[in-house]
């Protein structure tokens, strides 16, 4: 992500998933994701990839 618009796209992509709340920190280049139910990493990565971005890692 290189700008606020990019961060918004990633945040919106993650927040479009049911039971997910995400907040992107552009300065740290990361997203803090909270989920009400367990969700696979593949679903989270797929959502971000579909928005045109890639996930480097999930911690």
pLDDT at site 5:
95
Full residue range of the structural domain in which residue 35 is found: 4-50
Alpha carbon distance 39, 4 (integer Å): 26
Lookup: tokens for 11: 């945040």
Q: What are phi and psi of 56, to 5 degrees?
A: -85, -45
The reply to whether 39 falls in a domain is yes
pLDDT at position 18 is 96
The pTM (predicted TM-score) of the whole model is: 0.90
Give the per-residue pLDDT at 25.
95
The answer as to whether 55 is a domain residue is: no
Find out whether 13 and 54 touch, Cβ atoms under 8 Å.
no
Query: 11 lies in a domain?
Result: yes
Quote the number of domains for the chain: 1
12 in a structural domain: yes
Mean pLDDT of 12-32: 96
């Amino acid at each position: 992500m290189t700008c606020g618009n990019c961060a918004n796209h990633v945040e919106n992509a993650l927040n479009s998933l049911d039971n997910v709340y995400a907040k992107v920190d552009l300065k740290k280049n990361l997203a803090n994701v909270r989920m009400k139910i367990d969700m696979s990493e593949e679903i989270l990565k797929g959502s971000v990839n579909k928005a045109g971005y890639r996930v480097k890692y999930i911690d």
